[in-house]
Amino acid sequence: MMRTMRQAILTGVLLAGTVPAAAEVRVVATTSSMAMLVREIGGSAVSITTLAPPDRDPHYLLARPSMMVALRRADLLVAVGAELEVGWLPAAIQGASNPKILVGQPGYFEGAAQIDLIETGQVADRSRGDVHPMGNPHYYMDPVRMARVGRALAARLGALDPARKDEFANRAEAFAEAVDERAVRWRQQAAGAAGVVLYHKDANYLALFLGIPVLGYIEPLPGIPPTASHLRDLVARLSGTQGVILYNGYHPSEGPAFLSRQLGWKSRQLQLEVPLEATGSTYLDHIEQWVRASTGATP
Amino acid sequence: MAERLAILDHELAAIESLLSAMPARIAEADTVAALRLDAERREMEARRGVLADERAALEKERAELAAYRTRTVTGPLQPADPQGLSPLDLGAQTGQVSSGQAFNPAISVIPDIAYYADDVDGEAFELVDGADGFGGGHEHEGPSGGHGHGTLDRGFNLREMELAFSGAVDPYFDVWATVALGPDEIEAEEVYVQTRKFVPGLQLRVGRFFSGVGHINKQHPHQWDFVDQALPYQAVFGGTLAETGVQVTWLPNVPVYTLLGVEALQGENERLSHQAGEEHPGLFEETPGPRLFTGFLKVSPDVGYAHALQGGVSFGRSRSHQELVGGIEDAAEEAVEGAAWFFGTDWVWRYDSARPLGRGDLTVQGEYVYRKKDLSPIADAPAARPSRVSTQDGLYAQVVYGIASRWTLAGRVDAIGLVNRLEVGEVASEYAASHRYSAAVAFNPTEFSRVRVQYNAGRFPREGKAVFHQVFVQFQMSLGVHGAHRF
């Protein structure tokens, strides 16, 4: 007991001599979902910069100079991973020349590396569209997986700021509990839902979590815009059945509207990403919105 | 077998005790040490798994042996040769534990195929190459035009196939290698080593690379927004400024993106630091490299998610440039050498609309470059000759707009020789400027493929062939690892 106290005081004195006592961990999150998690776990102990705005497709961003400025100053980079950001993040990291956040360093954190992914082991063949052979990277639509990523993130933040280790762990637990609390109700709500047609494979984790079947995709192949023949095939296959059509903010609405007219199904456009300043509860409300939409409930 | 089992038991016990002590050690350790210990813990757990597997296999074998000793029936227990092809019992595995080809670098193959036509008997590229004041114009300076970079034949061309390799050599260095395979040449476009973790903010690059001056100089042909390169580059550098040397860049830790770079380059560029000693051994003496020194600054304020703005200035000085000008019969009189320098500025503004697949995206960019060559007759010239000072400049401005999902429309205006002056001693002559206007439509089925149609109209006041028109159809593919969308 005495020893721990002495150590704590010593550390405090040493820290005070070198860096400001309440130095924030400077975190750069690639997407607003990851930023939400950092905010939820890190609280006031972290400062957050988000690289990708929520209204743009994170597959197709450009490595802008301002990203490099943020990464240059970062203590920790929190990415979605599984090659979602492969088009721009490696270039941004390379341009930032910050040794702390290189892959393999304590300052690099990829959510996908902390959990198991679905749809792994697909053939790495781009004739099948913009495939992700390492697995579907849109796990941020699964609140349970996000809670698990949150626990891993708490451990990492704790390693970077040991004085607040327990605080981070407690916040991660609180988030996981909040998820669990609503998860049961969400699953009940979704029970018996007919199914969804998605634009892209971006809500598959949510569908799996809720036990709702994914009946088809507006895209003929990942990353390829819908064609008339593909949409006709979808209509032929699904006519006479029930379901809802979900697509997100940055997807064009023509395909979903056509399918909706032909099938007489409801179609809903929702944001895939939470807003920039979202907290844990914003995220849970966001998932709730998707749950309601997937079950065909009126908004 | 019994001994091996004993060893395994011992080692497993040791690992168990180490692992049980781990949580306490991790709790006491500081940040970095804790992460290392955690990695160690995972390694130990993996090792424990391996040992346990071996132990289980040995136990099984022991049980089988025991059964064999106590068996009551005669005849073989198993087929004589269950493994198929193992004539001899070598007593142990003959395999090799190997990662095979898993250390391969990332590879991309980028074919670039073009159809080309013009209305000046296929000589439009020669006209561009020999534009007044830049190449082999009226004053016959420098190496004559001929087959420069990006020259196409009328009809179909395999312009080049780019092979790109990259990867980490070790914790300290990355290597990038881009090789262009042309119709009759193989060229190392870029082969360089770059530091991974040097001093934060500093990057050191050694090798052959595209200089960081200007905005599009560092782009490979498949990254251009048009089939051909902007005219100022063709006129001042004869294409891309690619040199062997050293580059240091510094990104200071300030809120506004500021990149400073300096380069010491060998100086092999035909138009800036040409060494004519090999062609005319009696006349010129080679200046040892590095002969070309450059510096650049890029600044980019953060203007939100929808916009990006970057401005830059570049400067370069060649301490030795050699040329043979004028008459051929008494060459020594026309041999000149001296220094050359250039200054440039580049501006880019990009707007990223949130609409799907590039619809509504807009890029506006422009660059200006000014070049001066200050050449004097070589020291042992037989008669007193005047010095030659030539001053030229060039600029381009272009707009690329996403007219629909996956479709872009681009327009460009090039002008070179707006300042176009040659002073021989006291006599100054002025030359006319050359212009080119380009329009291109590109369809990008995915981010890995592109089909582009481009039209150029050029006005190069030279030898009567003042006006030309060019048409290009280009097919560009990128096969392999996902390329980066660089600014």
CB B340 within 8 A of CB B318: yes
CB A177 within 8 A of CB A183: no
Q: What is the pLDDT, as a whole number, of residue B470?
A: 97
CB B160 within 8 A of CB B477: no
- DSSP classification of residue A213: P
| pLDDT lower than 70: segments of chain B | 32, 67-90, 135-150, 326-333, 381-383, 463-465
Q: What is the pLDDT, as a whole number, of residue B71?
A: 53
At residue B177, what is the residue type? A
Instruction: Identify whether residues B132 and B53 lie together within a single domain.
Output: no
Q: Is residue B65 part of a domain?
A: no
| B305 touches A: beta carbon within 8 Å | yes
Instruction: Identify whether residues B42 and B141 lie together within a single domain.
Output: no
Instruction: Identify whether residues B275 and B395 lie together within a single domain.
Output: yes
ipTM surpassing 0.90: no
Query: For residue A22, what are its two tokens?
Result: 């309440």
B249: helix, coil or strand? strand
Instruction: Classify domain A19-180 by CATH number.
Output: 3.40.50.1980
Instruction: Identify whether residues B54 and B153 lie together within a single domain.
Output: no
At residue B479, what is the residue type? L
B45: containing domain: 2-60
CA–CA gap between residue A168 and residue A163 (Å, rounded): 10
| Chain A partners within 8 Å of B32 (Cβ) | 106
Q: Is residue B191 part of a domain?
A: yes
CA separation, residue B262 to residues B202, B239, B256, B416 (Å): 11, 20, 20, 26
Radius of gyration of chain A from its Cα atoms, rounded to whole angstroms: 21
For chain B, the domain total comes to 2
Query: For residue B468, what are its two tokens?
Result: 């030309």
Q: What is the pLDDT, as a whole number, of residue B362?
A: 97
Crossing angle of helices A143-160 and A32-42, in 10° steps, is 60
Q: What is the pLDDT, as a whole number, of residue B407?
A: 97
Domain end, chosen from B29, B45, B60, is at B60
Instruction: Identify whether residues B131 and B9 lie together within a single domain.
Output: no
Q: What are phi and psi of B262, to 5 degrees?
A: -130, 150
CA–CA gap between residue B5 and residue A55 (Å, rounded): 61
Question: Which residue has tokens 């807003």?
Answer: A275
Q: What are phi and psi of B327, to 5 degrees?
A: -60, 155
Q: Is residue B100 part of a domain?
A: no
CA separation, residue B437 to residues A195, A196, B222, B232, B277 (Å): 54, 51, 20, 13, 38
CA–CA gap between residue B55 and residue B50 (Å, rounded): 9
Taking only the tens place, the pLDDT of each residue in A199-233 is 999 999 999 999 999 999 999 999 999 999 999 99
Please name the residue of chain A whose CA is at the shortest distance from the CA of residue B198.
A99
Q: What is the pLDDT, as a whole number, of residue B57?
A: 83
Q: What is the pLDDT, as a whole number, of residue B349?
A: 97
Class of A190-294 in CATH: alpha beta
CA–CA gap between residue B444 and residue B4 (Å, rounded): 63
Cβ B201–A86 below 8 Å, yes or no? no
Where does CATH 3.40.50.1980 sit in chain A? 19-180, 190-294
Considering CB atoms only, which of A88, A97, A159 is closest to B484? A88
CA–CA gap between residue A239 and residue A234 (Å, rounded): 8
* CATH assignment of the domain containing B434: 2.40.160.10
Crossing angle of helices A32-42 and A280-294, in 10° steps, is 130
Please name the residue of chain A whose CA is at the shortest distance from the CA of residue B300.
A65
Taking only the tens place, the pLDDT of each residue in B303-315 is 999 999 999 999 9
Helices (H) and strands (E) in chain A, counts: 10, 8
Instruction: Identify whether residues B150 and B230 lie together within a single domain.
Output: yes
B390 CB-near residues (< 8 Å, 6+ apart): B133, B139, B141, B372, B373, B375, B421, B422, B423
Please name the residue of chain B whose CA is at the shortest distance from the CA of residue A107.
B32
Taking only the tens place, the pLDDT of each residue in A129-180 is 988 889 999 999 999 999 999 999 999 999 999 999 999 999 999 999 999 9
Q: Residues in chain A whose beta carbon is closer than 8 A to a beta carbon of chain B?
A: 52-53, 55-57, 60-66, 68-69, 72-73, 83, 86-88, 90-91, 95-100, 102, 106, 126, 130, 159-160, 162, 223-225, 249-252
